Structure 1
Amino acid sequence: MKAAKRPIHTVATWVRRQPPKGKTLWMAIDCPNIFLRMIVHDHDNLFVAAEAVHALGISVLIYKIMKEKTCAGLSLKSQELTALFLAVRLYCSFVMEFDIHTLLDSATLVTTLWVIYMIRFKLRPSYMEDKDNFAIYYVVIPCAILSVLIHPTTHHHIINRIAWAFCVYLEAVSVLPQLRVMQNTKIVEPFTAQYVFALGIARFLSCAHWVLQVLDTRGQLLTALGYGLWPIMVLISEIVQTFILADFCYYYVKSLMGGQLVLRLPSGVV
């Protein structure tokens, strides 16, 4: 009888058969996950790190706006969606729990509102309104409906549980208008690219937090989150956020390695 292949050998064989882009994405997602599992003992710190990186990305936008006095290439709709899910998440934090996440979200919301103010009023002439043509009701309405149908089963009031689910779902797709702007322009200037890349890193850290928590608790975390479809939807939302930005992060890293300051995206990337 033929001996069974070892799992490591099977995975290695699968990776070797993938195209170059597939290998790069695997190295960018799975290998860091394994590395993080070995070096980060308290995986809750990954979630804090994700929020901190998001705040850092917003800081890059503020620097761009203050230095260049332009908001070209930025999506106002993405910023508004970000402010919306952060506001809802802050409400949930105040009524359900108050911790370091509340403070980080508060700082990120304030800076996001400042960016929205600058785009709407101070830098309106440089805003690419014709490129920022993603209809946000395509994501807000489905997220609202989904949150009513699938939400946590905790002891909190039903309104709070629906709000919690809504901010989780909306966060997963809030970057789509920004990706549409980049798809329409095809050329992404450095500060905008750095901001979106920071979002990609934040999403990866957040996704890694949930995945590693599930692995460490041998699936018991899913039970702790409640019953029904909600625990699975939390994981799916995190994975969706990560893979929405995977293509962009791949081309951003490739551009950096090639020494290019301005990122040019191939057709159909985002």
Structure 2
Amino acid sequence: MASDGGSHGGPANGSSVTTLVRWLRTRSQTEKAALLGAAALLTLIVLWYFVEDHDNLFIIAETVHFIGIGVLVYKLTQEKSCSGLSLKSQILTAIFLAIRLMCSFVMEYDVHTVLDLLTLVATGFVIYVIMNGSSGLRATYMKEQDSMSVAMVLVPCTVVAIIAHPSTNHALPFRILWATCVYVEAVSVLPQLHMFRGQKTVERFTAHYVFALGVARFFSCAHWFLQMFDGDSFLLSALGSGLWPIMVLLSEIVQTFILADFCYYYVKGQVTGGGVVRLPVDVV
């Protein structure tokens, strides 16, 4: 009798998940946004209570990002394909990592510097393989779809950084560079999401990578929120005053919500679509 109960557990659980997904699918965009916000708030509360050192959340975010890049390295070296992968997003990622690494040596050298260095090396490898790999691999690069200009992202971010940057005691160029890094990181995934426009499905390793970015961005956003709510004096002094702290939080929120839609369809694909991520035309 016990074995019979166990045999029915799997299908019952599967049916429950399918029913939940179907219910979510019938909700309006406003209802989905409200549910997403409630889930994010609940997760923040759980993290607040159970994670004693909230700085660990940023370390988790950087580690997840590094793992995501590792997925791309596997895709390029084992699958011999860069189909669906945006070179422009990788270049923007390398730019903000290089800026953050340079500023870290001047402003705050710690474990984050090591993680940034590892991620930058992995990202540089991805860029190199896409641009200089075998002819067969380069032929899979969808250059026509990767059409968003890097300058279109960098120039506005630099302008905003000149206006809103930290008010600490460091030299002005480093403060502007640090702000530029924060803003570029917030929108570096846009060329990748732009490539998804019109695609009915997303290649699995690229999907894993973008989902990892979404998870990393959430933990990073949680780190900033919880640190500020805790009244961390070191963090507040590092952020400075004026417009900059608001822009930091806004950047974290923007990059989290930029990826929220994709993460929803990713999870939905893992639950009901056999791991295939299917996007509506207007998801990005």
TM-score, normalised to structure 1, is 0.89
User: What does residue range 167-246 of structure 1 map to in structure 2 within 5 Å?
Assistant: 167-217=181-231, 221-222=235-236, 225-246=239-260
1:131 and 1:184 in contact (8 A); partners too: no
**Cα RMSD (Å):** 1.9
**Bigger CA drift: 62-71 or 252-261?**
252-261
Q: Match for residue 38 of structure 1?
A: 49
> How far, CA to CA, are the matches of 2:191 and 2:182 in structure 1?
17
Unaligned runs of 5+ in 2: 1-26
> How far, CA to CA, are the matches of 1:50 and 1:218 in structure 2?
19
CA shift for structure 1 position 259: 3.7
Report how many residues are paired.
255
> How far, CA to CA, are the matches of 2:124 and 2:63 in structure 1?
17
Residue 78 of structure 1 pairs with residue 59 of structure 2: no
User: What does residue range 51-90 of structure 1 map to in structure 2 within 5 Å?
Assistant: 51-90=62-101
User: What does residue range 138-157 of structure 1 map to in structure 2 within 5 Å?
Assistant: 138-157=152-171
> How far, CA to CA, are the matches of 1:17 and 1:176 in structure 2?
25
Residue 47 of structure 1 pairs with residue 58 of structure 2: yes
Distance 1:46 1:64, change over 3 A: same
> How far, CA to CA, are the matches of 1:114 and 1:80 in structure 2?
11
SS at structure 1 position matched to 2:196? helix
CA shift for structure 1 position 221: 4.9
Distance 1:124 1:25, change over 3 A: same
CA shift for structure 1 position 224: 5.2
Distance 1:218 1:103, change over 3 A: closer
**Bigger CA drift: 162-171 or 183-192?**
183-192
Distance 1:124 1:28, change over 3 A: farther
> How far, CA to CA, are the matches of 1:154 and 1:51 in structure 2?
24
> How far, CA to CA, are the matches of 1:220 and 1:121 in structure 2?
44
**Bigger CA drift: 95-104 or 179-188?**
179-188
User: What does residue range 18-29 of structure 1 map to in structure 2 within 5 Å?
Assistant: 20-29=31-40
Cα displacement string for residues 76-124 of structure 1 (whole angstroms, at most 9, x for unaligned residues): 0000000000000000001112100000000000000000011112121
In structure 2, what residue type is equivalent to 1:167?
Answer: C
Runs of 4 or more consecutive aligned structure 1 residues displaced over 2 Å after TM superposition? 16-24, 218-224
SS at structure 2 position matched to 1:132? coil
Distance 1:117 1:249, change over 3 A: same
In structure 2, what residue type is equivalent to 1:226?
Answer: G
SS at structure 2 position matched to 1:126? coil
> How far, CA to CA, are the matches of 2:201 and 2:267 in structure 1?
15
Unaligned runs of 5+ in 1: 1-15
> How far, CA to CA, are the matches of 1:215 and 1:33 in structure 2?
11
Q: Match for residue 21 of structure 2?
A: none
CA shift for structure 1 position 215: 1.3
> How far, CA to CA, are the matches of 1:180 and 1:208 in structure 2?
26
Q: Percent identity?
A: 59
> How far, CA to CA, are the matches of 1:225 and 1:19 in structure 2?
34
SS at structure 2 position matched to 1:245? helix
Q: Match for residue 119 of structure 1?
A: 130
1:70 and 1:126 in contact (8 A); partners too: yes
**Bigger CA drift: 216-225 or 226-235?**
216-225
